[in-house]
């Protein structure tokens, strides 16, 4: 499991980590620390001792956020790996499992399995996750992963170009949306049964918006491991299975079965210029928040409208991220940033900017960085880490944009400084407070200080500006 693959730790619900008495807080803090340490081992190279299933509830983005808002559902299985994207096998020691989901129109298949780190970030190593993502970088990383691992499933165009279509949904989910994870313990023997069942069954497209959507597939997988753990809502969602309903019912089921050692946490959307995802909703919530649907119901069916409001209130009160820890950049569990943390960190950033303003025109430098960033071309360094090639006045400089390589090239320290500053500004927006790990912001401020420390001599020699 993401949170528990080495030892058997009784975590209960991590949603209570930040509530309770002083004694409860100390106990919760200890449990959270242990949880984070185990998680780091899970994503490394340590053997697995337990199995788990984790519901990934993804917030809606783009057209889904604007017109529906129901989001996406997938299931992460820590004990199941992929012989190919459409054939499953048991995981070997050190492997971290796959994410299974139903897709529409991708190779004609019903489900596809992707390793968990590529599914989230379109890279194979966590240290290669870009610090700041834009559409150009994300498209590049996805295509690199497709060419290396998914060519048989999604081949190049005749001229060698990147094919169009929804295949991009297979990788890099965390660039597009915040994901809420709901984890339950499972029996390792059930992994083998699921592998045989899915491998033996015809894997051809079954997708249907109403009766066989992504949430229906996730419901079937979770019900296979734990019968009656999740179900659709006839009233709240008009019988359509929705990701939020799965999370709500799985949470309720977990609370009634403490032996499952259930936990939940938030996988935040990577900071960048890609629009932020929106709050996930159920079917009736969509109707009640859209005037074009609700006014006719109130006018012509007042009783139905009253029922809708009652259901809406019930679903509204389920907040998938409430009191949940955040998966930080080190893939450890961190407390979410509070409003007080945000203000304190903003003051630290302002202080760093004030010190820097004595040598450069900060606003002009920020405008130039934005221009250079927009024109930069993504590539990979010799170790496979993502970089940007910056053309500044005809001089091309390669700058690392991940934690693995951002400090390796001193010539690009000015651009790297701007990138970390842009990341911090996104993290410190008020709308991002509860979806940002406190430790991430503190670590990013330290990284910014390191990058600024590489610049004073050069800045002084250039007269403090460009």
Report whether pLDDT(200) > 80: yes
* Sequence-separated (6 or more) residues with CB below 8 Å from residue 392: 372
The tens digit of pLDDT for each residue in 330-389 reads: 889 999 999 999 999 999 999 988 866 555 666 777 888 999 999 999 999 999 999 999
Angle (CA) 52 2 437, round 5°: 145
For every residue of 53-74, DSSP letters joined together read EEEEEEPP-HHIIIII---EEE
The tens digit of pLDDT for each residue in 253-271 reads: 999 999 888 999 999 999 9
Alpha-carbon distance values, 109 to 56, 103, 112, 201 (Å): 20, 8, 7, 12
For every residue of 90-113, DSSP letters joined together read EPPTT---EEEEE-SSSTT-SEEE
Taking each continuous run of H as one helix and of E as one strand, the counts in the chain are 15, 13
Backbone angles phi, psi at 180, to 5 degrees: -105, 125
The tens digit of pLDDT for each residue in 32-78 reads: 444 444 444 444 433 444 679 999 999 999 877 666 788 999 999 99
Q: What is the DSSP pairing of strand 98-102 with strand 333-334?
A: unpaired
Look up residue 435 and give its two tokens.
Answer: 């979806």
Report whether pLDDT(272) > 90: yes
Query: Cα(122)–Cα(141) distance, rounded to whole angstroms?
Result: 6
Query: Cα(110)–Cα(214) distance, rounded to whole angstroms?
Result: 10
Backbone angles phi, psi at 131, to 5 degrees: -70, -30
Burial of 377 (C-beta count, 10 Å sphere; 0-12/13-18/19+): middle
Query: Cα(102)–Cα(115) distance, rounded to whole angstroms?
Result: 15
The tens digit of pLDDT for each residue in 79-106 reads: 999 999 999 999 999 899 999 999 998 9
Look up residue 218 and give its two tokens.
Answer: 């996730």
Q: 3-state DSSP call for residue 377? A: strand
Q: Within a 10 A sphere around the Cβ of 461, how many other Cβ atoms? A: 8
- Smallest CA-to-CA distance from 260 within 188, 185, 200 is with 185
CB-based contact 222:190 (threshold 8 Å): no
**Averaging pLDDT over each range in 101-115, 280-294, 302-316, which range is the top one?**
101-115
Query: Cα(299)–Cα(287) distance, rounded to whole angstroms?
Result: 14
The tens digit of pLDDT for each residue in 400-421 reads: 999 999 998 777 788 999 999 9
Long-range contacts of 12-16 (CB under 8 A, 24+ apart): 12/258, 12/261, 12/262, 12/263, 13/254, 13/255, 13/262, 13/263, 13/264, 14/263, 14/264, 14/265, 14/324, 14/325, 14/333, 15/264, 15/322, 15/323, 15/324, 16/323
Length of the chain: 466
Handedness of CA 377, 380, 381, 382 (dihedral sign): negative
- Predicted pLDDT of residue 158: 93
Which of 80-84, 85-89, 239-243, 451-455 is predicted least confidently?
Answer: 451-455
Handedness of CA 63, 373, 139, 149 (dihedral sign): negative
Alpha-carbon distance values, 112 to 7, 98, 102, 154 (Å): 29, 10, 7, 12
Region 278-291: mean pLDDT is: 73
């Amino acid at each position: 499991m993401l949170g528990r693959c080495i030892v058997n730790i009784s975590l209960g619900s991590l949603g209570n980590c930040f509530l309770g008495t002083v004694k409860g807080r100390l106990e919760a803090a200890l449990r959270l620390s242990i949880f984070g340490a185990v998680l780091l081992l899970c994503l490394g190279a340590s053997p697995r001792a337990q199995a788990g299933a984790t519901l990934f509830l993804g917030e809606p983005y783009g057209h889904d956020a604007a017109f529906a808002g129901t989001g996406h559902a997938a299931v992460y299985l820590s004990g199941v790996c992929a012989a190919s994207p459409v054939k499953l096998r048991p995981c070997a020691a050190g492997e971290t499992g796959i994410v299974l989901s139903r897709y529409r129109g991708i190779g004609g298949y019903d489900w596809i399995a992707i390793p968990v780190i590529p599914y989230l970030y379109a890279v194979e190593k966590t240290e290669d996750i870009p610090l700041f993502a834009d559409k150009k970088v994300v498209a590049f990383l996805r295509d690199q992963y497709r060419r290396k691992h998914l060519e048989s499933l999604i081949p190049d165009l005749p001229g060698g170009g990147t094919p169009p279509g929804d295949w991009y949904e297979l990788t890099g989910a965390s660039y597009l949306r915040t994901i809420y994870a709901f984890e339950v313990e499972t029996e390792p023997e059930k992994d083998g049964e699921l592998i045989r069942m899915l491998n033996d069954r015809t894997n051809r497209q079954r997708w249907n918006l109403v009766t066989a959507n992504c949430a229906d597939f996730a419901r079937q997988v979770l019900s296979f491991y734990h019968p009656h753990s999740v179900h659709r809502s006839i009233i709240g969602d008009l019988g359509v299975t929705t990701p939020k309903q799965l999370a709500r019912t799985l949470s309720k089921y977990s609370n009634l079965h403490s032996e499952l050692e259930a936990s939940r946490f938030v996988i935040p959307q990577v900071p960048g210029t890609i629009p932020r995802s929106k709050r996930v909703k159920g079917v009736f919530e969509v109707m009640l928040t859209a005037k074009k649907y609700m006014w006719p119901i109130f006018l012509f069916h007042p009783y139905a409208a009253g029922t809708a409001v009652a259901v809406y209130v019930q679903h509204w009160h389920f907040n998938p991220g409430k009191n949940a820890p955040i998966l930080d950049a080190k893939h450890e569990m961190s407390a979410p940033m509070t409003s007080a943390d945000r203000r304190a960190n903003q003051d630290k950033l302002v202080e760093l900017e004030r010190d820097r303003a004595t040598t450069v025109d900060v606003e002009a430098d920020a405008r130039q960085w934005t221009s250079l960033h927009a024109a930069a071309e993504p590539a990979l360094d010799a170790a496979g880490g993502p970089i940007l090639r910056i053309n500044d006045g005809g001089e091309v400089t390669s700058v690392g944009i991940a934690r693995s390589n951002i400090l390796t090239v001193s010539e690009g320290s000015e651009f790297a400084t701007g990138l970390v500053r842009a990341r911090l500004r996104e993290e410190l927006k008020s709308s991002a407070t509860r979806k940002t790990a406190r430790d991430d912001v503190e670590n990013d401020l330290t990284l910014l200080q390191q990058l600024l420390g590489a610049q004073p001599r050069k800045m002084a020699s250039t007269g403090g500006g460009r």
